[in-house]
């Protein structure tokens, strides 16, 4: 922390670029200060960035921004060129590409702004060096500093480029789509889509009856699912850990390993196997029929009856989730100081009381961050629902969703099956808001977050 403050202080000590100083030309011509101080490579790099950016903006950029604003005006269609009588298929504007280019230009502009800022700082440094009578460092020593004082720049650049290209850019793009009417009826290149403001949000909140009748029940089930799934996994997983770690129980490592195997197998394998087992004609039903407990007519519809399907996904989720909690709580249990238990036992506390008064509070204290991630993970628990029930049983009262669909699986279906990208994005934003609110309220108050600086 003190280091950070020191760095800021040095920066603010740099002189301002007053207009009577030659370095101030850098405000208009990037890299000028570097050039007059014989930092040729750096100066030329700055200049090149500026020239390239201006050239790009004039030739392509302005047009791209305009495209982002209009999202295209010319529909694809048949037009008859002048002087001819035969209509030809004219390629229309592609709203999708116009949007991508527009966003790319904005991202480029932000990067350019960053470069410009670096340029100004560099000019101020040059000025400071000149005023104190020192020589500007050469390009080689600049490069060397990239391995030392500026090592963070070197290391962060590849990551940031990756995140910008494959996470931020697509995300901005999808957020923008939530404010357009890019649905199955407005698919480029055949059709244009346009900005519609908050219409999509209004639609799922009530303006469109069918969508609202889908959104609220699905949201409700998502929250119920997340609470129950997180709670049951947490408590039962902890109980299992307590059983395994109890004094006098032997083969602890073996018991743990048995449960851990299920974590290690890819979920799509275990869940597809489960789907098969719970199928109407799957082994469980076949077994019950052949054992004479049920008849062919009364097969248990584990995945096709609304209530049963919901219970089944919750139970299967226990199978998936308990081992995780067990693994993590085992570690924590072993770290609870034993004398706490001794003292309580001398006071005559029952095992149940020990659990409620010592184990539970300690565990909750240590695992709050884990609990939050689990909760958010369950809101986004795509695999269990999608692979097990596929969101089914389907219902005609919902739009493109089934009774066990979570918001995220509905989002996936809207994207993959019907191409209502605008609705999918809107729901994505809703999921984000829920996760963000939950974590902000809880996460920032946890010990782990506050302790972040302790080691440094």
Per CB under 8 A, the segment of 134-142, 227-235, 247-255, 297-305 that binds another protein is: 247-255
Q: Where are the alpha helices (DSSP H) in 77-94?
A: none
Of 50 and 330, nearer to another protein (C-beta) is 330
Query: Which positions from 167 through 196 interact with another protein, judged by CB under 8 A?
Result: 167-171, 173-174, 177
As a whole number of angstroms, the distance between CA 353 and CA 360 comes to: 10
Q: Does 270 bind another protein (CB under 8 A)?
A: yes
Of 319 and 355, nearer to another protein (C-beta) is 319
Q: Total residues contacting another protein (rule CB under 8 A)? A: 98
Cβ contacts of residue 47 below 8 Å, gap of 6+? 29, 30, 31, 32, 35
Query: Which positions from 15 through 54 interact with another protein, judged by CB under 8 A?
Result: none
- Binding residue (CB under 8 A) for another protein from 274, 314, 363, 423: 274
Per CB under 8 A, the segment of 50-58, 219-227, 242-250, 354-362 that binds another protein is: 242-250
Of 259 and 399, nearer to another protein (C-beta) is 259
Q: Does 248 bind another protein (CB under 8 A)?
A: yes
Cβ contacts of residue 184 below 8 Å, gap of 6+? 418, 419, 420
- Binding residue (CB under 8 A) for another protein from 18, 307, 346, 416: 416
Q: Does 260 bind another protein (CB under 8 A)?
A: yes
- Binding residue (CB under 8 A) for another protein from 290, 296, 338, 396: 290
Cβ contacts of residue 31 below 8 Å, gap of 6+? 42, 43, 44, 45, 46, 47, 50, 119
Q: Does 423 bind another protein (CB under 8 A)?
A: no
Judge if the upstream peptide bond of residue 189 is cis by omega within 30 degrees of 0. yes
For residue 180, give the nearest of 194, 170, 192 by alpha carbon: 194
As a whole number of angstroms, the distance between CA 77 and CA 12 comes to: 59
- Binding residue (CB under 8 A) for another protein from 65, 111, 263, 354: 263
Q: What one-character-per-residue DSSP string does 289-301 give?
A: HHTTSS-GGG---
Q: Does 431 bind another protein (CB under 8 A)?
A: yes
Strands 77-79 and 88-90: antiparallel
> Phi/psi of residue 293, each to 5°?
-75, -40
Q: Does 159 bind another protein (CB under 8 A)?
A: yes
Query: Which positions from 394 through 413 interact with another protein, judged by CB under 8 A?
Result: 408, 411-412
Q: What one-character-per-residue DSSP string does 190-236 give?
A: TS---B-TTHHHHIIIIISHHHHHHHHHHHHHHHHHHHHHHHHHHHH
As a whole number of angstroms, the distance between CA 95 and CA 190 comes to: 10
As a whole number of angstroms, the distance between CA 56 and CA 62 comes to: 9
Question: In the bound complex, what is the minimum distance in angstroms from residue 147's beta carbon to another protein?
Answer: 4
Query: Which positions from 57 through 96 interact with another protein, judged by CB under 8 A?
Result: 96
Q: Does 340 bind another protein (CB under 8 A)?
A: no
Q: Does 307 bind another protein (CB under 8 A)?
A: no
Question: In the bound complex, what is the minimum distance in angstroms from residue 208's beta carbon to another protein?
Answer: 21
Question: In the bound complex, what is the minimum distance in angstroms from residue 35's beta carbon to another protein?
Answer: 26
């Amino acid at each position: 922390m003190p280091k950070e403050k020191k760095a800021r202080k040095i920066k603010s000590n740099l002189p301002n670029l007053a207009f009577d100083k030659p370095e101030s030309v850098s405000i208009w011509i990037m890299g000028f200060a570097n050039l007059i101080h014989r930092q040729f490579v750096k100066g030329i790099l700055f200049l090149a960035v500026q020239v390239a950016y201006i050239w790009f903006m004039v030739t392509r950029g302005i047009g791209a921004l305009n495209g982002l604003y209009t999202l295209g005006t010319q529909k694809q269609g048949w037009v008859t060129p002048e002087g001819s009588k035969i209509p030809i298929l004219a390629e229309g504007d592609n709203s999708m590409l116009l949007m991508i280019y527009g966003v790319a230009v904005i991202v480029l502009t932000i990067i350019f702004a960053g470069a410009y800022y670096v340029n100004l700082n560099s000019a101020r440094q040059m000025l400071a060096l000149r005023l104190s009578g020192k020589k500007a460092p050469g390009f080689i020593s600049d490069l060397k500093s990239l391995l030392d004082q500026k090592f963070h720049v070197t290391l962060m650049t590849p990551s940031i480029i990756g995140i910008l290209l494959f996470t931020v850019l697509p995300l901005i793009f999808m957020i923008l789509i939530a404010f357009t009417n890019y649905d199955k009826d407005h698919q480029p290149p055949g059709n244009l889509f346009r900005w519609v403001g908050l219409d999509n949000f209004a639609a799922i909140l009530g303006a469109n009856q069918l969508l609202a009748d889908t959104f609220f029940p699905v949201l409700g089930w998502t929250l119920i699912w997340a609470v129950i799934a997180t709670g049951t996994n947490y408590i039962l997983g902890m109980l299992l850990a307590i059983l395994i770690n109890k004094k006098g129980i032997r083969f602890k490592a073996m018991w743990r390993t048995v449960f851990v195997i299920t974590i290690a197998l890819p979920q799509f394998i275990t869940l597809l196997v489960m789907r098969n087992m719970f199928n109407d004609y799957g082994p469980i039903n076949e077994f019950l029929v052949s054992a004479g407990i049920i008849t062919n007519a009364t097969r248990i519809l584990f995945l096709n009856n609304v209530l049963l399907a919901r219970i089944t996904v919750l139970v299967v989720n226990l199978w998936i989730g308990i081992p995780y909690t067990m693994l993590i709580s085992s570690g924590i249990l072993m770290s609870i100081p034993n004398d706490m238990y001794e003292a309580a036992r001398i006071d005559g506390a029952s095992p149940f009381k020990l659990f409620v008064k010592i184990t539970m509070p300690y565990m909750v204290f240590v695992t709050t961050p884990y609990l939050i991630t689990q909760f958010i993970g369950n809101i986004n628990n795509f695999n269990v629902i999608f692979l097990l029930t596929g969101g089914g049983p389907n219902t005609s009262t919902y739009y493109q969703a089934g009774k066990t669909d979570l918001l995220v699986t509905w989002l996936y279906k809207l994207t993959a099956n019907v191409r209502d990208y605008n609705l999918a994005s809107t729901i994505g934003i809703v999921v984000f808001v829920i996760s963000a609110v939950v974590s902000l309220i809880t996460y920032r108050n946890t010990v782990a977050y506050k302790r972040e600086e302790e080691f440094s």
